[in-house]
Structure 1
Amino acid sequence: LLLNRYLDLAGEDDGLAAMPVFMALRAVIRAHVTASAAEHGRSGSERAAAFAEARRYAEAGTVMLRRAPARLVAIGGLSGSGKSSLAARLAPELGIVPGARVLRSDVLRKRRFGLMPEESLPAEAYGAAVTAEVYRELGERAAMALGAGYAAVIDAVALREEERRAFAAVAAKAGVEFTGLWLDTSAETMHARIESRRSDASDATAAVLQQQLQSDPGMLDWVRVDASGSPEQTLATARGALAI
């Protein structure tokens, strides 16, 4: 979560490839410092505990250098269906340490206008031209993460067939596995979730949801996920679909 928040604000996705090395380096330095300190002025039990801690740091550094298959997961669905909640819970379980790069359309849209994620945008910022640019950037940043060896999770409504096809094409070009998850739940549940939001990147309102409900998403060939239950239940269903 911390890495994704930093990248959302700084936009330095092109540095992702160096992250495993820097994290491992930091862990090894901590291992060295901890082991060195254990040699000076400590009792036998304290020394043993310090050496054990140093070993944990060294082992963590090794884990941070392990590779794992990159993959792209796209989570779509109407506003209030639970996309962002699921993306945040899935990310730590995908790809290499510290987890997947989460790319949220709401956050990228705010960044284009120089706003923090929790600040609100005017209605004109949600026009078709801006939305097309946001979705293009989602694909570009996902490609960066995949190219750096990371998994990526795209969090966007993706109500149009061409948007969903474009995400699949990003994975195909990168030569990685793609899975699209479409979250299903009742209109009442989505309305309730929208009304309960506080300090969230989404500007969606009940009126926006109503407009989405009246739209035709076209052919939906993504995995349908029942998102009517708790976040934990939705996560369990998604994990099954992703075989993780």
Structure 2
Amino acid sequence: MIPPCQAEAAAFLARLSGARPVETHISAVYVGHDTAWKMKKAVALGFLDFTALADRERFCRRELELNRPQAPGIYRDVVPLTRGPDGALREGGEGAPVEWVLRMAPIPAGDFLDAMPLTEALLDAVADAVAAMHAAAPRAATDAPARMGAILEGNVPSALRAGLPAQRIAAWAAAARAELARVAPALAARDAAGFVRRCHGDLHLGNLCLWEGRPVPFDALEFDETLATIDVGYDLAFLLMDLDLRHGRGAANRVLNRYVARSGDAGLCAGLPLWLSLRAMIRAHVEAARERPWQALLDAAEAHLRPAPPRMVAVGGLQGTGKSTLARALAPSLGRAPGALVLRTDEVRKRRFGVAPEQRLPPEAYAEAVSAEVHEEVHAMAAAALAGGQSVVLDAVFLDARQRARAEAVARAAGVRFDGLWLEAPLAVLRARVASRRDDASDATEAVLLRAAQADPGPITWHRIRAEDGALAAARAALGMDAGSMC
């Protein structure tokens, strides 16, 4: 509902756009043929105050500043509405501002990511966009555990005011406090290492859209620097939570893994249960206050805090055996949400050379010394994820028995269960698969495959699995995974 003091401006924008507004509790957007006008509502809601015209101007300009780097084609400028000589409102002009609006490009309703099917390629592109945004975000050291504590405690009265069940909220708060106490040292270490940055702050699917063929984050939180100056993992967690509920564990798992493949930030796993739970709780009481369904969100907030022991699985075999396909298929069902972290040597190598996973590298990138460093980084990332409580799937050829032993040692050091899977297929099948690869992180050619096939891998003690149609079922059986289980 538009506040009465803005009724004239609202009527003007409706005539200008020829459309009724798309409203939230803090803004009204008027979408015209080639321009959209966004007006901030003159409201005070406790967590923000837009009642003063000068503040509405300031926050319009701050929104433009925050979002233009990620979405330059969407965000255009900020203009006043003033009175013309005839007393009628107009865009711009020299008179005293009556209202301030943000001018944007219109986005087709079907191009918001909460309104479209999400392919694997689109999920990867979303993760790439978020990773790039976080990499460019300015660092800002805070007391991260205290910041999370304040967010946690602020949610309790908000949830109760929204009418969520008091007994469940009390139990959730107790579990969240215990989890915060457990992970506080890890959060503080991440703060010191520069992972707290000025982030998006409101990174759900509705605030991502397709623009010029690629996903773009927009509508970053502009009205509270404290709420947006957070760990990048907490920023990402909103998107993961939203994906998990809307599209399933597989979609959230793919975005997590692509994000870590691009950023190298396996350490974010330490905060995931708390962050996912907080994001679900925030959305639960917001939806309850709007008299919308909230039950699934509260269920998720509780579920994210239930412990699930981590485990480690390694998938090895010659090029073309389908290691990455199997690893990705297993990962969503392993451990806690949103499933296991898949650490693929091919992707780590690409990140070390500063290129996208699908970009090919020259032969020198595969020198023995480089490969040794890649494996060490994979092992370090696995150790970090396991220490944070996340299950891990290692994806590599593992032709060298020493690398297989090293993987097992990482699991032993973390005190978690280890299972190795060794995929096998006839050489003719592997040659055909390698020849048909497109847009994959592996640069292996048929010549690379033939050299590897001549090498002696030594004794294979891992579960041997035929790389055929029944490979996933065989792998799940070897891992002791019941159908539909989260192990």
Q: Structure 1 length normalisation: TM-score?
A: 0.92
Partner of 1:58: 298
The 5 Å alignment of 1:41-80 reads 50=292, 53-80=293-320
User: 1:109 is aligned with what amino acid?
Assistant: R
The 5 Å alignment of 1:181-192 reads 181-192=421-432
Partner of 1:165: 405
Candidates 460, 465, 482, aligned match of 1:225: 465
User: Deviations for 1:177-201, whole angstroms, at most 9, x for unmatched residues?
Assistant: 1101000111111111111111000
Partner of 1:26: 279
User: Deviations for 1:84-138, whole angstroms, at most 9, x for unmatched residues?
Assistant: 0000000001010000000000000111111110000101111110111111111
User: Partners in 2 of 1:67 and 1:239 — Cα distance?
Assistant: 22
User: 2:265 is aligned with what amino acid?
Assistant: E
Please, which moves more after superposition, 104-113 or 64-73?
A: 64-73
User: 2:299 is aligned with what amino acid?
Assistant: E
Q: Is 1:237 aligned to 2:477, yes or no?
A: no
The 5 Å alignment of 1:1-244 reads 1-38=254-291, 50=292, 53-227=293-467, 229-230=468-469, 233-244=470-481
User: Partners in 2 of 1:65 and 1:9 — Cα distance?
Assistant: 27
User: Partners in 2 of 1:15 and 1:2 — Cα distance?
Assistant: 13
Q: Which has the larger radius of gyration?
A: 2
User: Partners in 2 of 1:61 and 1:192 — Cα distance?
Assistant: 46
User: 1:93 is aligned with what amino acid?
Assistant: S
Secondary structure, counterpart of 2:455 in structure 1 = coil
User: 2:414 is aligned with what amino acid?
Assistant: A
- Ranked by relative contact order (alpha carbons within 8 Å, sequence separation 6 or more), the top structure is 1
Cα displacement (A) at 1:76: 0.2
Secondary structure, counterpart of 2:290 in structure 1 = helix
User: Partners in 2 of 1:240 and 1:56 — Cα distance?
Assistant: 31
User: Partners in 1 of 2:277 and 2:350 — Cα distance?
Assistant: 33
Cα displacement (A) at 1:66: 1.5
User: Partners in 2 of 1:73 and 1:109 — Cα distance?
Assistant: 20
User: Partners in 2 of 1:179 and 1:73 — Cα distance?
Assistant: 5
Secondary structure, counterpart of 1:114 in structure 2 = coil
Q: Structure 2 length normalisation: TM-score?
A: 0.46
Cα displacement (A) at 1:56: 0.6
User: Deviations for 1:172-223, whole angstroms, at most 9, x for unmatched residues?
Assistant: 1111111010001111111111111110000000000000110000111111
User: Partners in 1 of 2:361 and 2:422 — Cα distance?
Assistant: 26
Higher helix share: 1
User: Partners in 1 of 2:269 and 2:277 — Cα distance?
Assistant: 14
User: Partners in 1 of 2:438 and 2:271 — Cα distance?
Assistant: 35
Cα displacement (A) at 1:69: 1.2
User: Deviations for 1:131-154, whole angstroms, at most 9, x for unmatched residues?
Assistant: 111111111111011000010000
Q: How many residues align?
A: 228
Instruction: Please list every run of at least 4 consecutive aligned residues from structure 1 whose deviation after the TM superposition is greater than 2 angstroms.
Output: none
User: 1:20 is aligned with what amino acid?
Assistant: P
Cα displacement (A) at 1:4: 0.7
Secondary structure, counterpart of 2:312 in structure 1 = strand
Secondary structure, counterpart of 2:296 in structure 1 = helix
User: 2:255 is aligned with what amino acid?
Assistant: L
User: 2:262 is aligned with what amino acid?
Assistant: L
The answer (yes or no) to whether the contact 2:266–2:382 under 8 Å persists in 1 is: no
Cα displacement (A) at 1:3: 0.6
Cα displacement (A) at 1:11: 1.4
User: Partners in 1 of 2:277 and 2:305 — Cα distance?
Assistant: 7
